[in-house]
């Protein structure tokens, strides 16, 4: 389901069963993330499917990428894998005006 940023944030803040999923590349990830996001790069192809399929399908996933296209694709893939609740951030990280953190250096 596509949600505009305000709806995505409001629903996320009231969801105790939420997981934030960033499907961007590692280079994009290093430029900043939405706090507490988990990264699985959609460009990994089959690797993305394997990693996503290991996630708890009973959770609610709030998915974002840079502009909203890859995350919409990720939601469609996740729905095919049996995830019931996936929420795409329309406009993605490029239009995000909420809090941003930076991932820890490995």
User: Is residue 100 a part of any domain in this protein?
Assistant: no
Q: What is the pLDDT of residue 52?
A: 98
36: left (phi over 0), alpha (psi -120 to 50) or beta: left
Structure tokens belonging to residue 35: 């706090």
Domain contains 106: no
* CATH number (domain holding residue 28): 3.40.250.10
* Residue 85 lies inside a defined structural domain of this protein: yes
Q: Are 48 and 41 in contact (CB under 8 A)?
A: yes
**Binned average pLDDT, 10 residues per bin, the chain of 106 residues:** 96 97 96 96 97 98 98 98 98 96 74
Q: What residues act catalytically?
A: 65
Averaged confidence pLDDT in the chain: 95
Q: How many domains does the chain have?
A: 1
Model confidence over 59-85: pLDDT tens digits?
999 999 999 999 999 999 999 999 999
Domain assignment present for 55: yes
Q: Where are the alpha helices (DSSP H) in 1-106?
A: 5-13, 26-29, 46-53, 69-80
55: left (phi over 0), alpha (psi -120 to 50) or beta: beta
User: Angle at CA 77, nearest 5°, toward 37 and 63?
Assistant: 25
């Amino acid at each position: 389901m596509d949600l505009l940023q305000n709806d995505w944030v409001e629903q996320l803040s009231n969801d105790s069963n939420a997981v934030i999923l960033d499907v961007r590349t590692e280079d994009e990830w290093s430029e900043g993330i939405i706090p507490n996001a988990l990264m699985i790069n959609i460009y990994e192809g089959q690797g993305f499917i394997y990693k996503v399929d290991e996630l708890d399908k009973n959770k609610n996933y709030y998915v974002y990428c840079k502009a909203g296209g890859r995350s919409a694709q990720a939601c469609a893939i996740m729905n095919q894998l049996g995830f019931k609740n996936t929420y795409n951030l329309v406009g993605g990280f490029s239009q995000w005006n909420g809090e941003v953190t930076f991932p820890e250096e490995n």
